[in-house]
Amino acid sequence: MRPVLSIASHPINAMSLSVYIVEDIPEFRAKFAQTVLDAPDMRLAGSAENLAEGMALLERGPVDVLLVDLGLPDGSGLTLIREAARRWPDTCDVMVVSVFADEHHVMAAIEAGATGYLLKDASPGDLANQIRELHAGGSPVSPVIARQLLLRLSPAPVVSPFADNASNLTAQERTVLNLASKGYTYDEVARLMEVSRHTVMTYVKRSYRKLQVHGKTEALYEARRLGLLQD
């Protein structure tokens, strides 16, 4: 096992936020490390590229923020999150930075003890600010993740009085909506379905009437809410 990297980005002082980074992809690990190194109020206490090295980092003692990926080559980052939460429940905040945006991974990370969840497309400046926000008591999450959490926590939808009409959408009408939800124009839909654009627009108008909506955005929202789209 190679030695765990440890770098002090600035002279250590009481105001520095100490950060551990556990990330297996070298490019991302270097990007995150540089973000911390460039921040005048942070110091990089150590970095690791896999679960075993990450566990070795935790043996060194607590830090203010643990930045961790979920998909590690020798195990799951969830193990590190649980261990950090067990050891330092009140002193170490955990920020997940991952490519996984699905509900399963998000909820598993939160249940393990993570209080922040970002996708890897965050810019260095955003990442530094999110680390500060996390340490200050916030729970920064990427917009896509926030939307998932809101949908999960929102009350069950009221059954629409038009649900029966919506269920009567024909196979062609559903196909048009599904293709439109994937970004195809109506001309492209017509070519894919091998029908005229006029026929496609007829399907569109019928689906709008059944869904009781007045435009494409409303139609896609209502169809998705009723489970009519194949995401």
Mean pLDDT of the chain: 84
Nearest to 45 by CA among 26, 28, 58: 58
Read off the tokens for 154: 């929102």
Residue 153 has a pLDDT of 59
Question: What would the DSSP string read from start to end of 112-168?
Answer: HT--EEEETT--HHHHHHHHHHHHTT---B-HHHHHHHHHHHSPPPPPPTTHHHHHT
Kindly report, residue by residue over 46-69, the tens digit of the pLDDT: 999 999 999 999 999 999 999 999
Predicted TM-score of the model (pTM): 0.61
Average pLDDT of span 14-38: 92
Q: Are strands 116-119 and 65-68 parallel, antiparallel or unpaired?
A: unpaired
**pLDDT at residue 114, rounded to an integer:** 94
Domains parsed from the chain with CATH numbers:
17-153 (3.40.50.2300), 163-225 (1.10.10.10)
Residue 132 pLDDT exceeds 90: yes
pLDDT tops 60 at residue 154: no
Q: pLDDT confidence of 143, banded at 50, 70, 90?
A: confident
What's the pLDDT band for 5 if we cut at 50, 70, 90?
Answer: very low
The pLDDT tens digits of the residues spanning 165-178 come to 556 888 889 889 98
